[in-house]
Amino acid sequence: MKIGVFDSGVGGLTVLRALLARIPGAEYLYLGDTARLPYGSKSQATIARYAVSSSQFLIDQGCEFLVIACNTASALALNEINEAAAPYNIPVLGVIAPGAAAAAANSLTRDAMVIATSATVQSHAYAAACEARQLRAIEKACPLLVPLVEEGWIDHPVTAEVVRIYLSELREAAIEADSVPDTLVLGCTHYPLLRGVFENAVRKLWPDNPLVVIDSAEATAREVAAHINAVSRPEDAAIPPRSCACQFYATDSVTKFRELGTRFLGHPIDRVQLVDLGG
Select from 43, 168, 209, 273 the one that contacts its own copies (CB under 8 A).
43
Q: Which is nearer to its own copies, 42 or 171 (CB)?
A: 42
Rounded Cα distance between 228 and 236, Å, is 10
In sequence order, the β-bridge partners of residue 138 are 113
Judging by beta carbons within 10 Å of its beta carbon (0-12, 13-18, 19+), is residue 178 exposed, middle or buried? exposed
C-alpha angle with apex 209: 203 to 215, nearest 5 degrees?
A: 65
Is position 155 an interface residue for its own copies (rule: CB under 8 A)?
Answer: no
Active site residue 188: yes
Q: Rule CB under 8 A: is residue 48 a binding residue for its own copies?
A: no
End-to-end CA distance of the chain: 31
Tell me how far apart the alpha carbons of residues 4 and 196 are, in angstroms, rounded to a whole number. 29
Of 235-254, which residues contact its own copies (CB under 8 A)?
251-253
Does 169 sit near its own copies (CB under 8 A)? no
Q: Is 170 in the site for its own copies (CB under 8 A)?
A: no
Q: Pick between residue 8 and residue 107 the one whose CB is nearest to its own copies.
A: 8
Q: How far apart are CA 78 and CA 64, in angstroms?
A: 17
Q: Is 262 an interacting residue with respect to its own copies (CB under 8 A)? A: no
Q: Is the dihedral of CA 218, 224, 229, 235 positive or negative?
A: negative
Please, which of residues 125-144 interact with its own copies by CB under 8 A? 143-144
Closest-CA residue to 99 (of 228, 210, 213, 252): 213
Q: Least separation, in Å, of the C-beta of 121 and its own copies?
A: 14
Of the residues 70, 130, 142, 246, which is catalytic? 70
Stretch that binds its own copies, among 21-29, 37-45, 66-74, 126-134 (CB under 8 A): 37-45
Give 17 or 42: the residue with its C-beta nearer to its own copies: 42
Q: Does 148 bind its own copies (CB under 8 A)?
A: yes
Which of 10, 16, 29, 35 touches its own copies by CB under 8 A? 35
- What is the DSSP annotation of 168-217? HHHHHHHHHTT----EEEEESTTGGGGHHHHHHHHHHHSTTSPPEEEEHH
Q: Is 151 in the site for its own copies (CB under 8 A)?
A: yes
- Cα–Cα distance for residue pair 250/253, rounded to 1 Å: 7
Least distance to its own copies, CB of residue 44, Å: 9
* 83 CA to centre of own chain: 21
- Site membership for its own copies, residue 42 (CB under 8 A): yes
Residues noted as catalytic:
70, 188
- Name the residues that contact its own copies, by CB under 8 A: 34-36, 41-43, 46, 50, 143-144, 146-148, 150-151, 153, 158, 161-162, 165, 251-253, 256, 277-279
